[in-house]
Amino acid sequence: MAETVTFLALLLAVLAGGGAGWLLARRGKAIEVAPGVGPHLLPEPALDWLRRSHSALGVWIAELDPQEDGPRAERIVDSDRLSSGQIIAVDRRLEVARDFEQSGAERLEAGTLVFHAASGVAAALLLPDSVNARRLLLVENDLRRLLDGVRRRPQLIELAQATTQEASLESAGSVGLRLAYQLERTLDGHVVVVAFENAMDIAGEGEEPVPRVRVIGVSGRGDRRLLDTVLPVESSELARVAIGELESCVMEGDPLGSVVADRRQRPGAVLLAPIKAGDRPVGAIALWPPGGRQPVGAPRAELMESLANAGPRIATALAADRLKIQTTVDPLTGLCNRRGLDSVLNRREVRKGALIYADLDRFKLLNDALGHPAGDAALLHFAKIISEQIRAGDIGARVGGEEFAVWLPGTGLELGAKIAERIRIKLGTTPWDWRGRNWPLSASFGVAAMPETSTTVAELPAQADAALYVAKRSGRNRVERAGGQAARSGLGRLSP
């Protein structure tokens, strides 16, 4: 049994390290996983191998992603030996372990449950008999390796996707992820990489650039919720190192300024080091070394060489990212513009998705009554609500004056309509005023989806627009699906 478990542990480690490539090969030419499949959950046969190696009654994985509607879970059980009530009992126990990051072993009616949880993810094996100390250690080690693979999976897939981008230039995110993983592998410590995004910006006459420091890389042991968060310069030592206000230093506490309130705290010393392109600061890293021991000698030299090599790449990537933002991002709301949305819809791997078109009701009246600055503020308010209500991976866009769109990849028509309804209700129930004058806001929505209403992505914008027209014509402040009345209505539009 020990030899089998050791082999399995090595196999799971290989799966964690090469998970993205294995998944791509398993799914053929598609770069993304199939709709409805969580890329952060290890699929068959890895889970069943783990279950069978320990003669377990079942294996469970549960994750709570704050950017999703609810928890993701996967389990493989011996249904001939477990009742539905026993399975539900394990489900509930694992939810508690996940939420409170508990690990250990516990005797249940069906057997002994061995579980391990960290960073919002929990894994468990249900064994049919009691567990001695030696066997418990073997199971716990395998669960830890499984959990490590689960937590690394999104970043591994993101790295794989980054290498297949049509553009030859690296993105800042791909450079940051590679650097974080490289340093974790060589120094055996948790790493966070940040970029000083406006390091190369030129301010207008008489203006000072506002520092903006964003997390672009987190190592496999880290909290991936940190990715893309912006650090508060006034309270984050890591941000101050990134912009050149502080030199390399060692500190205690949280160098990120608590940007994720419930992020697992890491006790001990943390090394902060700048990343430069020549003499210009372009970012920084935070390294939590094992046991708090700072790298010296050869490891220290390797660290500095890695940072020196990463600096020019990050600077080039930031310049490319800014150029891309200028051409694909709406400057007022920060959402995609029409060109940015079109580039997403025209990706070759798109097979399923829902497109929402939305239009602020009576926007011209608002502009006439309160002025154009108020109109801009209302558009920003609506854009913020859209961003808050959609899921990770969804794309929000401003495609016209008061017209917005949301692309929901891998989503069907009914779920798309539910998300549109959620946005509509949130907008209507969130108070908005302009300089003390309350003004109720509402919006109308049209939803189309592939393959339910169209066999091609190219037809979705016209279908969603036609459904939006029906919503406007039917009284505004409502959601309409493409097809039926929307398909027969034509493409005429009412005034805002």
Domains in the chain: boundaries: 2-160, 172-325, 338-488
Exposed, middle or buried: residue 136 (CB in 10 Å: 0-12, 13-18, 19+)? Answer: middle
Confidence band, pLDDT 50/70/90 cuts, at residue 490 = very low
Q: How far is CA 222 from the centre of its chain?
A: 14
Q: Is 362 left (phi over 0), alpha (psi -120 to 50) or beta?
A: left
* Per-residue pLDDT tens digits for 414-423: 999 999 999 9
- Taking the domain 172-325, which CATH number applies? 3.30.450.40
Answer yes or no: is pLDDT of 268 > 80: no
- Contact in structure between 38 and 171 (CB atoms under 8 Å): no
- Contact in structure between 187 and 289 (CB atoms under 8 Å): yes
Q: How far is CA 390 from the centre of its chain?
A: 12
User: Average of pLDDT values for 369-397?
Assistant: 92
Confidence band, pLDDT 50/70/90 cuts, at residue 326 = confident
pTM of the model: 0.49
Q: Report which of residues 178 and 7 the model is more confident about.
A: 178
* Per-residue pLDDT tens digits for 132-175: 888 888 888 888 878 777 666 655 555 544 444 434 457 888 89
Q: How far apart are CA 215 and CA 173, in angstroms?
A: 8
Which secondary structure element, helix H or strand E, spans residue 154, and what is its range? helix 133-162
Answer yes or no: is pLDDT of 23 > 70: no
Ranges of beta strands (E only) in 198-278 are 213-218, 230-231, 249-252, 269-277
> Which of 92-101, 231-240, 473-482 is predicted with the least confidence, judged by mean pLDDT?
92-101
What confidence score (pLDDT) does residue 483 get?
Answer: 82
Long-range contacts of 131-138 (CB under 8 A, 24+ apart): 131/105, 135/1, 136/105, 138/1, 138/2, 138/5, 138/54
- Taking the domain 2-160, which CATH number applies? 3.30.450
Answer yes or no: is pLDDT of 342 > 80: yes
What confidence score (pLDDT) does residue 208 get?
Answer: 55
Q: How far apart are CA 482 and CA 496, in angstroms?
A: 20
**Residues paired with residue 115 on neighbouring β-strands, in sequence order:** 104, 124
- Contact in structure between 496 and 367 (CB atoms under 8 Å): no
User: Average of pLDDT values for 187-191?
Assistant: 88
Are the folds of 172-325 and 338-488 the same?
no
The encoded tokens of residue 93 equal 């126990």
Answer yes or no: is pLDDT of 267 > 90: no
* Per-residue pLDDT tens digits for 192-239: 999 998 744 433 444 455 678 999 999 887 777 788 888 988 889 999
Across the chain, mean pLDDT equals 80
Answer yes or no: is pLDDT of 407 > 90: yes
Answer yes or no: is pLDDT of 110 > 50: yes
* Per-residue pLDDT tens digits for 421-478: 999 999 999 999 999 999 999 999 999 999 999 989 999 999 999 999 999 999 999 9
User: Average of pLDDT values for 338-367?
Assistant: 90
Confidence band, pLDDT 50/70/90 cuts, at residue 126 = very high
CATH topology for the 338-488 domain: Alpha-Beta Plaits (3.30.70)
Confidence band, pLDDT 50/70/90 cuts, at residue 259 = low
Angle, alpha carbons 292-13-410 (nearest 5°): 105
Q: Is the dihedral of CA 256, 262, 266, 268 positive or negative?
A: positive
Peptide bond preceding 451 in cis form (omega within 30 of 0): yes
